[in-house]
Structure 1
Amino acid sequence: MFSHQKYEKKFYLPPVISYDWVKKESIEKAPVWCSVDLRDGNQALPIPMTLQEKLEMYQMLLEIGFKEIEVAFPAASETDYQFLRTLIENKMIPEDVTIQVITQAREHIIRRTFEALDGVPKAIVHLYNSTSEAQRRQVFHKSKEDIKKLAVDGARLFKKLAEETMGDFYFQYSPESFPGTEVDYALDICNSVLEIWKPAPNHKANINIPTTVENAMPHIYASQLEYINNNLLDRDSVVLSIHPHNDRGCGVCDAEYGILAGAQRVEGTLFGNGERTGNVDLITVAMNLYTQGVDPELNFSNMNQICDTYKRLTKMSISERQPYSGSLVFTAFSGSHQDAISKGMKYREQEKMQKWDVPYIPVDPSDLGRNYETDVIRINSQSGKGGIGYILENAYGIHMPYRMNEEFGYFVKKVSDRDSKELSTEEIYQLFRQQYVEYFPAFQIQSIKVNVEEANEAFLTILQDDNTIGVKGHGAGSLDAISNALKKHFSVEYDLEVYEEHSMGADSSALASAYIGIQKNGKQYWGVGINRDIIKASAFALAIAMNRLLGEFSG
């Protein structure tokens, strides 16, 4: 039975709520990022990564710019243990990078962890135990004091083993399942651990506050965190860290509110991989900073390669709508969106804008290695003329007049609707050529000669019904003479209403394109000519428009 009555709010407010974090307008500086892809993300995979796959993922995380990487739960599996030893023994940890490992507050696991760390240049050792009311009551059957003692005993053993093991060690403590823990009790445990570790400003400890299972709205988490932030012992010797999960779909919001509330460090994964609904997606949080003009200190300029490597190593997929990284996140199919993007891009170019400000696209796709032609505007039966014109202009240098663009737009949508598919840029271009460049069912011009010294006399050779025919005409200019020659030969009248010409490139050898619209009885007929000679291009465009008129076909 689907009944909400079996549920109730299950979170704890802090003893004092200040809401100072709400008054901050934005995040001004990137936090310390810690990737937990190789531990938290790895243990969530149906098939965990092999040693070689973990090494490749580790290398990619370094290339992105992570300075802290949780690499293993060395006491949990032999692969994790060997991976850690491989990094240490092969000196694969850069000087400016700190690895992190995790251990439960259990003596044999802690000892195995330090054994695996022997000889590490620098490492964060992460101690955790579950503190929530539900876990204390249902799982451990222990009192608050018993649970606190687990953390304190573990902290003491950390300090002892760190002195006996070769390496530079920094400590981190997490009250796991914090969202179901009384806030003042969680603070008491954290401070008790800090009293044992005695961190210093030049050798800090981390206190990590996780949303192990997200069970409240993000502003509750921020208020809880702000209380922790304001009441930690030796605050200048502590890095306040957060580890948001995404059970309510608010992981990114938890992270951003958490930073406003005092967090200096964020643990998460690429694309949000992790147990259940996953961890916070660090790409999204970092890129949110980027689009606000804040250096995220991580580099996602090669997003396609990052996505491909991640999918290959983890066997996981990435949603097409995943912020920033999904294959469709920059794509507009809607006609109104396409029109706004197209006009925005033209405005940006005309005004030589330095700052990015384009409707519907919050970040320049090229910053992430994405392609305007294939990623921004894509065409299906829902698309509009603006998008189709944008694609042809950017990919092929084609600048259709407005009414021609409108006519071709409807034609393309009909084709997409008929075939029930999205059309590629190449398919749209071929349709354009078929309709306006290579359409001659009635006749085709084979040669053109204009004698401007003889009152603009035009001589044309046309192919009509498999016969080669010469036609001649005079006019006020070259195009007028060509038009009069064709009118006379075919005994047809029309008005030449639209004429536009454009270069299709920047250099002197570039092709020229001519666009002609002729009208008869209120109906428009379009043609396009492409040639290095603009007179020939204009003549070919007029010939296509006349072919369409003669065949009574307007698209």
Structure 2
Amino acid sequence: MPSHRYRDVYSRVDIPLATRDWPTARLTQAPLWVPVDLRDGNQALAEPMDPARKRRFFELMVAMGYKEIEVGYPSASQTDFDFVRLLAETDLAPSDVTIVVFTPARRDLIERTVESVRGIRNPVVIHMYTATAPVWRDVVLGQDRAGLTALILAGGRDVLRSAGDLDNVRFEFSPEVFTLTEPDFALEICDAMTGLWDATPDRPVILNLPATVEIATPNVYADQIEYMHRNLARRDGVILSVHPHNDRGTGVACAELAVLAGAQRVEGCLFGNGERTGNVDLVTLALNLHAQGVDPMIDFSDIDEIRRTVAHCNGIDIHARHPYAGDLVHTAFSGTHQDAIRKGLAEHRARAAAEGRAEADTEWRVPYLPIDPSDIGRSYDAVIRVNSQSGKGGIAYLLETAYGIELPRRLQIDLARHVQRRTEQTGREVTAADVWRIFAETYLQSTGPGPVELVNVDVAGRRTTITLRADGVETHCQRDDVGPVEALVAALAERDVAVEILSLHQTSVGTGSATEALTLIEYRDGARSRWAAGRHRSVLTATLDAVLSAAGRAEGGAS
């Protein structure tokens, strides 16, 4: 790899920060969230949203509780301009939602942007940007530092001239490519803009410091943000905002460290859509807070509806492994994971009952699941799925959740062997119904008559009489002071069918009035133990059927 062609960030940006506070800071509350899906996300789509998709996306974000939404780049497209006018002329935007519009520092485009928001009743932010990094100054803009400062201030004056008299309008400035801009120059320009726009606590200016292209480890971005946080003039009149991109795959970490370093506001996209590798993912950021006990102030209780809407509007599917929201992120295939999750869920239910709390109000501490899937509208149905990598815990979990069957540990191990044999043969995942079929084929007595058929059981006082039929001949066996199971075992022994029962377990199949008894018998077959089962509405009949199943399998050498 020709790595010598690239320069590290330290040779390009020298951050004059001798000490730093962010490493010991803690995230204790949510920042101000600003989804930019309708502008930054939209301009990154191969097929930008039409008005219907834009409206649907906007309505989703309002329903989720976002109070500040960047809705478009009205000077760049008629569709964006018309959408802003729709918000101005209808009640689509609740009165407490701030509308943000985006413009470069050019007079005609600023005037077009202000025209789009004129008459709007909502609070409005006019967001002006200009690239400030050396390469952009040299290659794109053809300006030195002094020339670029003059250009930016001229744009700021145009914003004031066009919208300074509007009481519901505030201003935002982004030094684009902040992360590659000399810190002293970024500070100089930002202070000039807050001075020009008269930033005060009553009418604060938003200074947005974007990692337009992610170029360093997250600690570097945190240092850059803390440097600005400490040194900005009129700090109490500034809302310090960040806008991380994800070129290095660490956009979420950059945003979290930036908030630790003093940022109060985060711009990003739902599920991280955006140019190149995308903007920072607001869903992951918010749910990371939720998983640490901090209210994200946004409603993710129906993550699947959010995901469907975003995927439809963007025309981009959400990856199955996307944090929190992907189809498979709460799913365990590994046997050890499944066993731990199953035990954790059982312990959670028991602890909730012991504490007299609802499960939803009980502290969550289930292995491998950082949050309760039900918090975001997911059921437990997909938490454990079974393939060739799975173990006894997952298989037992499927039977328990789908059929109410609780298997003893040794039977879980035995059943897992049979299920794994099937999955390795097919290479496919198995469902709960598949596992039940394998269980029935392996342990339940066949529907046809076996070598020995139970004709009747008669209990009269202390005496139990067993009637068996084999090869068309009925025989009777009587035993005193024993139960039906022991009497049946004795009757089978008289027919030279030996069944040595090691343990007997009772469970059930189904719930409510449709429940059937399921008896599980561990019996000795030569030097090893095996399992058989019986199923019936009657517990006694289920148990006797299990004994006959064991007898037939022992005689036939079933594996």
Q: Same fold (TM over 0.5)?
A: yes
Alignment: residue pair count: 546
Q: CA 1:543 to 1:213, structure 2 compared with 1: closer, same or farther past 3 Å?
A: same
State the match for 2:158 in structure 1.
157
State the match for 1:484 in structure 2.
490
* Bigger Cα displacement from structure 2, 288-297 vs 308-317: 308-317
SS in 1 for 2:170: strand
User: Quick check: 1:399 aligned with 2:398?
Assistant: no
State the match for 2:371 in structure 1.
363
Q: TM-score scaled to structure 1, two decimals?
A: 0.94
Hey, what's the Cα distance between the residues in 2 that align with 1:72 and 1:520?
Answer: 74
8 Å contact kept, 1:529–1:540: yes
* Bigger Cα displacement from structure 2, 412-421 vs 442-451: 442-451
SS in 2 for 1:14: coil
SS in 2 for 1:202: coil
Q: CA deviation at 1:430?
A: 2.0
8 Å contact kept, 1:441–1:551: no
**Matches of residues 176-195 of structure 1 in structure 2 within 5 Å?**
176-195=176-195
**Matches of residues 491-510 of structure 1 in structure 2 within 5 Å?**
491-504=496-509, 510=515
Q: CA deviation at 1:235?
A: 1.3
Q: CA deviation at 1:529?
A: 2.3
Provide the alpha-carbon RMSD of the alignment.
2.0
Q: CA deviation at 1:540?
A: 2.0
8 Å contact kept, 2:201–2:237: yes
Q: CA 1:159 to 1:459, structure 2 compared with 1: closer, same or farther past 3 Å?
A: farther
User: Quick check: 1:423 aligned with 2:424?
Assistant: no
State the match for 1:124 in structure 2.
125
8 Å contact kept, 1:448–1:536: no
User: Quick check: 1:290 aligned with 2:309?
Assistant: no
State the match for 1:141 in structure 2.
142
Q: CA deviation at 1:213?
A: 0.2
Q: TM-score scaled to structure 2, two decimals?
A: 0.93
State the match for 1:57 in structure 2.
57
State the match for 1:348 in structure 2.
348
Q: CA 1:459 to 1:312, structure 2 compared with 1: closer, same or farther past 3 Å?
A: farther
Hey, what's the Cα distance between the residues in 1 that align with 2:448 and 2:514?
Answer: 31
Identity %: 39
Q: CA deviation at 1:509?
A: 7.0
State the match for 1:35 in structure 2.
35
8 Å contact kept, 2:74–2:101: yes
Aligned partner of 1:415: which letter? R
SS in 2 for 1:156: helix
Gaps of 5+ in 2: 356-361
Hey, what's the Cα distance between the residues in 1 that align with 2:512 and 2:21?
Answer: 60
Gaps of 5+ in 1: none
Q: CA deviation at 1:47?
A: 0.7
Hey, what's the Cα distance between the residues in 2 that align with 1:445 and 1:399?
Answer: 28
* Bigger Cα displacement from structure 2, 84-93 vs 244-253: 84-93
Aligned partner of 1:8: which letter? R
TM-superposition CA deviations, 1:289-314 (whole Å, max 9, x none): 00110000111111111112222221
Q: CA 1:510 to 1:151, structure 2 compared with 1: closer, same or farther past 3 Å?
A: same
Q: Where in structure 1 do 4 or more consecutive aligned residues deviate above 6 Å?
A: none
8 Å contact kept, 1:179–1:212: yes
User: Quick check: 1:323 aligned with 2:323?
Assistant: yes
**Matches of residues 435-514 of structure 1 in structure 2 within 5 Å?**
435-439=442-446, 443=450, 448-459=456-467, 472=477, 474=479, 476-489=482-495, 491-504=496-509, 510-514=515-519
Hey, what's the Cα distance between the residues in 2 that align with 1:471 and 1:343?
Answer: 47
Q: CA deviation at 1:153?
A: 1.3
State the match for 2:3 in structure 1.
4
Q: CA deviation at 1:324?
A: 0.3
SS in 1 for 2:277: coil
Q: CA deviation at 1:479?
A: 1.5
SS in 1 for 2:463: coil
**Matches of residues 11-410 of structure 1 in structure 2 within 5 Å?**
11-24=12-25, 26-121=26-121, 122-163=123-164, 168-352=168-352, 354-373=362-381, 375-410=382-417
SS in 2 for 1:120: coil
Q: CA deviation at 1:442?
A: 6.0
SS in 2 for 1:515: strand
State the match for 2:359 in structure 1.
none
